[in-house]
Amino acid sequence: MDFAYSPKVQELRERVTAFMDTYVYPAEAVFERQVAEGDRWQPTAIMEELKAKAKAEGLWNLFLPESDYGAGLTNMEYAPLAEIMGRSLMGSEPFNCSAPDTGNMETLVRYATEAQKKQWLEPLLSGEIRSAFAMTEPGVASSDATNMEARAVREGDEWVINGRKWWTSGACDPRCKIMIFMGLTNPDGPRHQQHSMILVPTDTPGVKILRPLPVFGYDDAPHGHAEVVFENVRVPYENVLLGEGRGFEIAQGRLGPGRIHHCMRSIGMAERALELMCKRAASRTAFGKPLARLGGNIDHIANSRIEINQARLLTLNAAYMMDTVGNKIAQSEIAQIKVVAPNVALSVIDRAIQIHGGAGVSNDTPLAYFYAMQRTLRLADGPDEVHRAAIGKYEIGKYVPREAMKASR
């Protein structure tokens, strides 16, 4: 066992850190101001500047593994970089590494035709356009993905799509030109072969962006989490990715790396919250002492450090397993980090808020916004409960055949 980062990773960590220090953190206030002052649903100048700089430095598309297009890092190698980017809410986009584009680009690399790649993947890789992923629906419990009801029906060489999606993140951004829609195409198939993924250009007639959904009062502009209605939306039949009824198959493939990315960003956010907490605890005084010397504050800092370190190791180990034995064998580990990382981040951020007093819940620190973002991650891609159930069943399965448990239902 060797817990040290490789020299290659270490060098990239230093470059990404330097970029964050030099450009991203100082840009946060600028970004906030540009969003507040102009039309909040237009891209900001500052973000485009940061993208140009990162691209010029070669810190671009680092997320993309095993392909002609990307940096060729393993999950294990990219994970520590995602952590650093995650320290700022602005952090991933400058490097063209933000969700849901990363997952969409990976999907396109694997399953798109050459024409589709030319049309959508290339401008995504170059950062000219953005994309969205339309899966979650307001009308059904998304914890059970097979509940999805939005329909795509084949008519000749076209799909006709109808339904309602929400939490289609990024769809409010005018740069969002392409969506991957997931919906019911083969209702008579086996439970996990009824749904397909279909490319839907955002400007197709019948696609209606209804509203941005706020998260604890934050609209996340200009990105935005959209509610979208599809009314008789028609796209070519070949826009279906991989094949009819294979939506869940694709979903499985994109989930693993996506979780590593999200979790490492969560850990980065937790690290930044811990840093802010320490600095506040050392500099603020009450009852004649720095806060760090009062009551259980030092314990909160210690617990935060412990929890973050554990979450990071768990995530890196999951990445290692994905790289070495594959997503399927790593399924329990991937579910574990999905539960741990946002919960740890929330705990740490909440403690950091508490030690900041009123400043912590306002926008004078990034903490409240961090909290809101992390809170959604206990729901996105399946709520904690679904993942815990999977982990638990896997564990019991070591001793009892799964059929035995089912039979006794």
DSSP per position, 223-282: T-EEEEEEEEEEEEGGGBSSSTT-HHHHHHHHHHHHHHHHHHHHHHHHHHHHHHHHHHHH
Question: Which listed range, 25-33, 63-71, 111-119, 215-223, lies at the site for a second copy (CB under 8 A)?
Answer: 215-223
Residues 381-400, interacting with a second copy (CB under 8 A): 383-385, 387-393, 395-396, 398-400
Cα–Cα distance for residue pair 364/356, rounded to 1 Å: 10
Cα–Cα distance for residue pair 210/228, rounded to 1 Å: 6
Q: Does residue 322 interact with a second copy by CB under 8 A?
A: no
Q: Which residues contact 50 (CB under 8 A, 6 or more apart)?
A: 23, 24, 27, 90, 93, 94
The 228-267 site mask, x for binding a second copy (CB under 8 A), equals ----------------------------------------
Q: How far is the CB of 107 from a second copy (least distance, A)?
A: 22
Of 30, 160, 209, 215, the one binding a second copy (CB under 8 A) is: 215
Cα–Cα distance for residue pair 165/133, rounded to 1 Å: 10
Contact (CB, 8 A) for 216 and 372: yes
Q: Does residue 306 interact with a second copy by CB under 8 A?
A: yes
* Geometric angle at alpha carbon 85, from 257 and 361, rounded to 5°: 110
Residues 324-343, interacting with a second copy (CB under 8 A): 324, 332-333, 336, 339-340
Of 26, 38, 189, 214, the one binding a second copy (CB under 8 A) is: 214
Nearest CB to a second copy, comparing residues 234 and 305 = 305
Q: How far is the CB of 310 from a second copy (least distance, A)?
A: 4
Cα–Cα distance for residue pair 359/383, rounded to 1 Å: 30
Q: How far is the CB of 377 from a second copy (least distance, A)?
A: 10
Of 82, 213, 334, 349, the one binding a second copy (CB under 8 A) is: 213
Residues 148-207, interacting with a second copy (CB under 8 A): 166-167
Contact (CB, 8 A) for 83 and 271: yes
Contact (CB, 8 A) for 117 and 107: no
Q: How far is the CB of 2 from a second copy (least distance, A)?
A: 4
Q: How far is the CB of 208 from a second copy (least distance, A)?
A: 18
Nearest CB to a second copy, comparing residues 127 and 366 = 366
Q: Which residues contact 214 (CB under 8 A, 6 or more apart)?
A: none
Q: Does residue 7 interact with a second copy by CB under 8 A?
A: no
